[in-house]
């Protein structure tokens, strides 16, 4: 079992203060902030553009930062491999992990969806800001989660709160990615 110190977004913001690059809260914390429906969290997941990873490395100089490649957390090499799906950050080798960083492609200044690089948005359209913290839009969180879950718990909790254009974005992209996905039954 991997040991995580489950930071909330405010604690994550303190850890990332001074990074000098845009980052955003992803996953369950983003859904919770959007819907105000509390959920259980096993870690804080944040997104960061892949080309800003040198700033992350410098920011956490002296910390234990690992690249997750093919399911294994390996010491962060000088050049972060394009196949790294996430970076894990902790104070030292005997400390629990604190941040799960998702490297995200940036193309012409736009956020790029990892599962389909044809899905791109300006960062301000892929995220929203509240109380000084940036969060990934809930429809994009759900689009990520649609790949690994067929249950509708996250969708059921979030769908009533989605604006019409966000709902349309979710189901349009899901139809393209997986035309047989069971969530599409809730599109109408």
Structural domains present in the chain: 9-179 (3.30.460.40)
pLDDT level of residue 79 (50, 70, 90 thresholds): confident
Look at residues 103, 110, 79, 107 and name the one whose alpha carbon lies nearest to residue 89: 103
pLDDT band at 121 (very low <50, low <70, confident <90, very high): very high
Task: Report pLDDT digits (tens) over 140-168.
Answer: 999 999 988 767 889 999 999 999 999 99
Query: 């969806």: which residue's tokens?
Result: 113
| Residue 69 CA from chain centroid, whole number | 17
The answer for residues whose C-beta is within 8 angstroms of residue 76's C-beta and 6 or more apart is 57, 65, 66, 67, 87
CB 121 within 8 A of CB 172: no
Average pLDDT over the chain, rounded to whole? 93
d(CA 142, CA 184): 12
Q: State pTM to two decimals.
A: 0.94
Query: Within 13 Å, how many C-alpha atoms sit on residue 126's CB side?
Result: 26
């Amino acid at each position: 079992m991997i040991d995580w110190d489950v930071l909330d977004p405010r604690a994550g913001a303190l850890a990332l203060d001074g990074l000098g690059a845009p980052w955003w809260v992803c996953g369950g914390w983003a859904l919770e902030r959007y819907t105000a429906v509390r959920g259980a969290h096993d870690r804080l997941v944040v997104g960061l553009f892949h080309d800003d990873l040198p700033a992350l490395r410098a920011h956490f100089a002296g910390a234990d930062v690992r690249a997750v490649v093919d399911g294994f957390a390996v010491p962060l090499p000088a050049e972060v491999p394009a196949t790294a799906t996430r970076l894990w950050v902790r104070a030292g080798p005997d400390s629990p992990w604190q941040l799960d960083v998702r490297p995200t492609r940036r193309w012409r200044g736009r956020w790029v969806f990892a599962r389909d690089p044809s899905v791109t948005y300006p960062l301000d359209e892929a995220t929203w800001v509240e109380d000084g913290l940036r969060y990934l839009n809930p429809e994009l969180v759900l689009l990520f989660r649609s790949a690994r879950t067929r249950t509708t718990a996250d969708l059921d909790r979030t769908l009533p709160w989605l604006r019409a254009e966000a709902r349309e974005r979710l189901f349009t992209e899901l139809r393209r990615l997986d035309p047989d996905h069971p969530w599409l039954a809730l599109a109408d």
